[in-house]
Chain A
Amino acid sequence: MTDELDRLRAALQEAPAEPFAEPDLDRIIKEGGRIRRRRRFLTSSGAAVAVVAVVFGATWLRSPGSAPEQVHAALAPPPIVTSVASSTPVPAPTSAEKPLGEVISTGTYTDGAELVFYATEIDDPDNLPTVQFGLMASLSEPDGNLRPLYLANESDGKDRSFGFHATSGGTTVADIWVPVYGYFSGPAARIETTVDGRTIPAHTARWSEDPGVVVFWFDQDDVPSAERATPLVAYSADGKRLTK
């Protein structure tokens, strides 16, 4: 009973057979100092928005007017409520995970860098023969570099079959909040979920490479985890429900 759980805990506490290597303190201070200086630079360059962060105590900073309106499911569905997407010229990314098509802006900033989404190629014919792309959450830094944070992709079936795919996020990566996001393959004009009985509209944007793919994401305050984003519902432009 409880003893067994205690035994598991004891096993976890059991010291390793050989001691681990000591951390390299000099390298920690050197690399950590570099990160610290870079953050200071970004913070100072983003001083105007930093004030907003202090006032509202929010991790994520939202550009004016980007906050979603609450929409009740019973009402006639309006057009896309919170689409703030726009195309942005894409500078050279800092990693091999290059964007396929245009980068999707969100108007949401942290540490002076903007959260963006973009599709990126997946080439894994052995394990994922029907998946050609995934959706990267990334930071677009003031110098134009992209800093990938989190890649979500279909892992079971075709990446463009009708319906929701790769719903993920709702987590912190490298101290950066990655919102709940994913994509819908189909003619979705509006995407919603329900959290604690409240209908929450998603921000949406169409993928430039395939307008039949609609990228969506939620604000952190509205949808704190992917598990709570249930059910996801997509509507067409004329208000018809596309998913059960």
Chain B
Amino acid sequence: MVRGDDEFADFVRSCSARLTHAAYLLTGDRHQAEDAAQTAFTRTYAAWPRVRRKNPYAYARRVLANHVIDIWRRPIREYATEEMPEPPKVPDISHAVADREWLSDALARLTARERAVVVLRHFFDLPEHQVAEELGVSVGTVKSTNSRALAKLRVDGDALVGEVSA
């Protein structure tokens, strides 16, 4: 190890669980998530002298989100459709929230960019302008993408749509 590696190791230990969790939400696959997190940390290490005194966590998060979007683009680019899919099975809101399977199925309905926006906005709780910055898109794009994603997740506005009467 060279100077700074101990600091980097502490950084990885402190945030690997959360970043890998985010990777899982982005990919929907445990192995892909672990690989994506590994890649994000590798690239963060490569940039460590530059980012260690800034915000390495934000850097790793940005690398992760864009890396996953990149994976999904290859080899054939996926074009989002404007058509709303059929409502997902939401048996009961009170159960659905705690139901990982429901969440996994729901997220699988989104494009890579929509997932990234949802994860950055609602998992990391980032403001729209920061989501825009990390994904390299405009704030307007974040707003429209988030709105479209929530509609697909049947979170229309602030209310889950398709809920079964409790």
Contacts and interface: CB of A to CB of B under 8 A. Distances in A.
Answer yes or no: are A and B bound together in one complex. Answer: yes
Contacts of A228: 138
A148 to B, nearest CB: 8
A15 B42 contact: no
B17 A7 contact: no
A1 B159 CA distance: 4
Contact of B21 (A11, A16, A31, A124): A16
Given A20-B34, A153-B77, A29 B1 contact: yes
A91 B9 CA distance: 39
Contact of B8 (A4, A19, A29, A128): A29
A155 B77 contact: yes
A227 B138 CA distance: 9
Contact of A8 (B63, B74, B155): B155
B3 interface: no
Interface residues of B, number: 64
Contact of B97 (A10, A124, A174): A10
A171 B135 CA distance: 7
Interface stretch (A33-41, A64-72, A76-84): A33-41
Contacts of A227: 137-138, 140-141
Interface string A159-181: 00000001010111111010000
B153 interface: yes
Contacts of A36: 45-49
A171 B9 CA distance: 30
Interface in B27-73: 30, 33-34, 37-38, 41-49, 63, 66-67, 69-70, 73
Given A28-B45, A33-B45, A171-B137, 9 more contacts: A10-B97, A11-B96, A11-B97, A16-B30, A27-B42, A36-B45, A153-B77, A170-B137, A227-B138
Interface of A: 1-2, 4-5, 7-17, 19-25, 27-29, 31-33, 35-36, 39, 97, 122, 124, 127-128, 134, 150-153, 155-156, 166, 168, 170-175, 177, 224-225, 227-228
28 contacts: A1-B158, A1-B159, A2-B158, A4-B159, A7-B96, A7-B160, A8-B153, A12-B122, A15-B21, A16-B24, A17-B100, A23-B12, A23-B41, A25-B12, A28-B41, A29-B45, A31-B42, A32-B41, A32-B43, A39-B46, A122-B75, A134-B77, A150-B73, A170-B136, A172-B135, A174-B70, A225-B138, A227-B137
